[in-house]
Structures are given as C-alpha cells and as structure tokens.
A and B are shown apart, each in its own frame.
Chain A
Amino acid sequence: MSEGDEPVESAVPMRSVGRLSDGLFRIVMITVPGVYVLLIALMLIADFGYMVTADADGGSAFMAALRQPSIQHSIILSMISCSVVAVLSVIVAVPAGYVLARMKFRGMAVIDAIVDIPIVLPPLVVGLSLLIMFQYPPLSTPLAKLLFFWDGDPNTSISRLVVYQVPAIILAQFMVAAAFAIRTMEACFAQMSPRTEEVALTLGCSRFQAFRRVVLPEADEGILTALTLAWARALGEFGPVLIFAGATENKTEVLSTTVFMQLSVGDLKAAVAVSLIMVVAAMVVLLITRLWGRGRGTE
C-alpha cells in the first residue's frame, strides 16, 4: 500500500465467513460417511458375535463347519475358481481397457455399452442367459460331429462338459468379474498420459514394445486393483453360479452357494461360519494386495 495503512474504501463489501460454518462442514462431511463405515463394521462384528454366543463354548460351530468335507471342498474350489477368474479377467481387461481408453473407431460406443451389460444386468439373468446360450449349436453339438479326431463319448458336447460342471462356475464368475476388471483398467489407462508412450515410439519402440516396456510397468497398480476386484467379485458371485453350475455337494458347490444351501436347510450356524470364512478370505486378499502395492510404491 503506497498511501500508508488507511483502509481502502471498496464498493464490494468485505466477506465474513463464520467459523461455525466451516466447523459444521467438517462435522457433516465426517459424520455422514462415518455412519456408513460404522454400519459395515457392525455388520461384521454381529457375525463374529453370533458365532461366539451361539455356542456355549464359542467357536465350536465354526470349527465344526470347517471340518465338514463338503465345506472344505467348497473352500478349495472357491479359492481355485476365484484365482483362475481373476487372472483370466486381467488377461482380457488389459487389452480391453487399453482399447477403450486410447483408441477411437467406429462402433466404439456400442462396445462400450456392451461391456456395461454384465455390470447392470441382474446376476441371475447372466446365469440364465449362459444356460440358454449353451442349448444352441455348436455348443450343444456332439463333439464327434465337430472334431473328426474325437474318440470319446459320441454324445459329449461342449455344453455337457461345461454346464453344471466346474468350468461353468469359472465362466459364470468370469462373465461378471471381467467387466469390472475392464472398467478398472480403462480408468487406469485413461489417467495415464499417452505422452510417455509416444516418447517411447520416437526412441525406437514398436507399438508393442512401448506398451510392454513403458505402459504396462506404469499400470501395475491398476492391474493389481483389477486383479483384487475380479477375485472379490468372483468370490461373491452367487446367482449365475447357482443357475449355470448348480450347487452339487463336493462337485460344484462354492462358498457363496454353500451359504445359501446351509441357510435353506435351516443351519444358520454353518451359514454364518462359511460367511465368516468368506469375510476372512476377502480381507486377506485385500490386505496382501494393498501391502504388496504399498511395498512397490515406496521402492
């Protein structure tokens, strides 16, 4: 101020923001999501609490459930199918996400909309649609007619090898999980600048080399997120698995269908016990990937 420290008259009145308003903003912003987080925590605490109080000697129902061979089978099958689905989803999601984020071509909007279908469709409908699809040739055609070198059961078709079998579990889980993985990878590639890739091209890379050496290493966190998300989606998938793969004990029963089966025969303790196994499994996977991601991030 060149004219000393005299207050300057201004046509615009001074703004006066109350501290109360800022304080209120913080309280509202913290309280509303706080209620939601509390609900999640209470939900899980209730599960654990039920297990502890349901039995006189607490936790025995949990161990009893774990000892059942059919539940053990379902745990192992779930872990395997979820891991296979997570890997398959990422294999599809990396190129799909890249194409959706970076390339422009005719019909792009249609493909973009199609990828959303498994996300918005009721899961039950996905299972039913898969079941219907496998009624049609060539999936339902006997393999002996399709493959001249086929010397197995002449009535066997792709449909028979898949529907109500283990591959049906994987396909049902994959149909939904892959869509989520694709959206995750698309967001990951979209927020990466195409500039680094372009520089790599001028430095002597082919498109593939630039993708493999520059884009993929920078997308590692996105890939990890997609992998985790696909794994968790697959673990929770229930409707399509029940319809398309059935829930045959010791064959196609996975954790989500086990919970339903136990519940439907009135064994609430076993249902809660298996639910807790799923909670723990999901948490372990989440924790491992978070820790791994953080370890890489600080390198």
Chain B
Amino acid sequence: MLSLHHVNIANGSFRLDGIDLQIASGEYAVLMGRTGCGKTSLLETIAGLRPCRGGRIEIGGRDVTTEPPANRGVGYVPQDAALFNAMTVAENLGFALRIRRVADATIAARVQEIAAQLGVESLLARSPKSLSGGEKQRVAIGRAMIFQPPLLILDEPLSALDDETRSLMHDLISRLLKNSPTTVLHVTHNVIDAEALADSVYQLADGCLKRRPIATTTPESTP
C-alpha cells in the first residue's frame, strides 16, 4: 500500500539515503528510533511536506513522489496536534470536507459521527485553545481521519499524554481503525504504544530502516 523505493532525504547536514519500506494495505506499522534519527523527516517526506531528493514514493500503487501534499491522500497528525485555533473543534473536524466542497449537511453529519467515535461531542463548539492534551490529540486524529485517507501518519501523537490517557487513546485508535481499510504509519518512542497497536514494527537506526519483531521491542533493545 505504502512503498518507499530507495528514498533519499536531505535536510541541511542531515541525510537519509536509500530508504526502502513496504507496508501492506490495512496494516498498522509502528516506526521507532532515537530522537534525531530522521523519523519525522521521513514522515514529512511521505506526506509531501519535504522534498524527496531521490527514489520513489507510492501510495496505493500510485507514484506520489512529486505530488503536492493535498493530492497524496495522507492524513497527518503531528506531535503537537497543530489544531486551527481560529476555528471551533467542529470546524477543525470538518475542515478537509469543507475544502473538498462537500455539502454542509453531509459535513455536519460526518462531524457528529466522528466526534461520537472519538468522544468529543461535548467539545464541538469549543475553541481548541481550551482543550486538554488528550482532547487535542483526539480532535487532531478525527480531523485527519474524516476524509477517509488511505494512509494515516501519526507523529508521536501520544508522547505528551499521561499513562492513563495514553491507554485510553490506544483503545480509541484501535476501535476507530477496526474494520477500516486505512493503513497507518505511527512514529513513537514508546514500546507500550507499539505493543498495543502495531501489526509490524520498524526500526530506524544509523540511516537504515529494518523490520523487527514486536515482542522483542523492549526498552533495553532500543538503541
């Protein structure tokens, strides 16, 4: 579903060369690696926010290497949620549909539906500024999921949450993606995230991306 063929990324003095990755349709892939090893750069390149200096990126069998982010069908949830503060929670959730000129009634219905799944119905009229960390992340996930992108990219969305909220988010993400065709690439430091959510785990270290078993992904084995 998502394939990277010898992808090269350069950002100032930082480089990643010859990255290969194959993720099957509907798979929940977790990408782990040390801070500064290029995980976020790799995600941003897949989303089209950073130029790909070489190689090929395919999403759903389509070459998107030079496509603008809007045409890639990638739902993106950054670490800090990056909600649109000038809009309400409901407007944040419905944003991708409004850009696609979906009818207002359909947008309202979809927003209600996804808000119910995420448990944020009571927050719809609120400003994102007044939300807690967990609430912000739920809205950010809903905003990225509402247009049913074939690929969902999560960049450490749970890193700032306490343990209890984190495990609630695990349940919520699992429920949301159950029976969904969406493929997920989730970057995290946290082994518990990987164990709770992952179908497969990849490790980015020393410029190399390798698949590793989920079970042996213990904190000690993380370089």
A binds B: yes
Residues of A within 8 A of B (CB): 193, 195-196, 198-206, 209, 213-214, 217-218, 220, 299
Question: In whole angstroms, how far apart are the Cα atoms of A195 and B156 in the complex?
Answer: 14
Q: Is the CB of B48 within 8 A of A196?
A: no
Smallest Cβ distance from B156 to chain A, in angstroms? 13
**Do B147 and A204 have beta carbons less than 8 Å apart?**
yes
| Inter-subunit contact A202/B48 (CB<8 Å) | yes
Residues on B with beta carbons closer than 8 Å to the beta carbon of A209: 99
Of all chain B residues, which has the CB nearest A220?
A: B86
* Contact assessment for A203 and B86 in the assembled complex, using a CB-CB cutoff below 8 Å: no
The 6 A-B pairs at the shortest CB distance, nearest first, are namely A217-B86, A195-B82, A201-B69, A202-B76, A203-B96, A204-B99
Binary CB contact string for chain B from 65 to 83 against chain A (1 if under 8 A, 0 otherwise): 0001110101110101011
Q: Is B39 an interface residue when CB atoms closer than 8 A count as contact?
A: no
Are the CB atoms of A218 and B85 closer together than 8 Å?
Answer: yes
**What chain A residues lie within 8 Å of B80 (beta carbons)?**
193, 195
Report Cα–Cα, A204/B82, bound state, in Å: 16
Size of B's binding interface in residues, CB under 8 A: 28
Chain A residues near B143 (CB, 8 Å)?
A: 199, 203
* Smallest beta-carbon distance A163→chain B, Å: 43
Most B CB within 10 A of own CB, among A196, A199, A214, A220: A199
In this assembly, does B95 line the interface, its C-beta being within 8 Å of a C-beta of chain A?
A: yes
Check if A214 sits within 8 Å of B48, measured CB to CB.
Answer: no
Query: Quick one: which of A203, A217, A218, A299 contacts B99, CB cutoff 8 A?
Result: A203
Flag B39-82 by CB within 8 Å of A: 1 or 0 each.
00000100111000000000000000000111010111010101
- A218 → B minimal CB distance (Å): 5
List B residues at the A interface (Cβ < 8 Å): 44, 47-49, 68-70, 72, 74-76, 78, 80, 82-87, 95-96, 99-100, 127, 140, 143-144, 147
C-alpha gap A201/B47 in the complex (Å): 9
Contact between B84 and A206 (Cβ–Cβ < 8 Å)? no
| Contact call A198/B99, Cβ cutoff below 8 A | no
Complex: how many Å from CA A256 to CA B155? 56
Provide the bound-state CA to CA distance between A204 and B49, in Å.
12
User: What's the least CB distance linking A216 to chain B, in Å?
Assistant: 9
B68 touches A195 (CB 8 A): no
Contact A202 B85 (CB under 8 A): no
CA distance A206 to B71 in the complex (A): 10
Assess A198 versus B49: contact at CB under 8 Å? Given A203-B147, A206-B68.
Answer: yes
CA distance A200 to B49 in the complex (A): 11
A193 touches B82 (CB 8 A): yes
| Neighbouring A residues of B83 by C-beta, 8 Å | 196
Q: In the bound complex, do residue A204 and residue B96 qualify as a contact, i.e. CB atoms below 8 Å apart?
A: yes
Inter-chain contact B84/A200, CB cutoff 8 Å? yes
CA distance A271 to B95 in the complex (A): 56
Tell me if B85 and A205 are in contact (CB < 8 A): no
Residues of B within 8 A of A218 (CB): 84-86
Instruction: Give the nearest-CB partner of A198 in chain B.
Output: B49
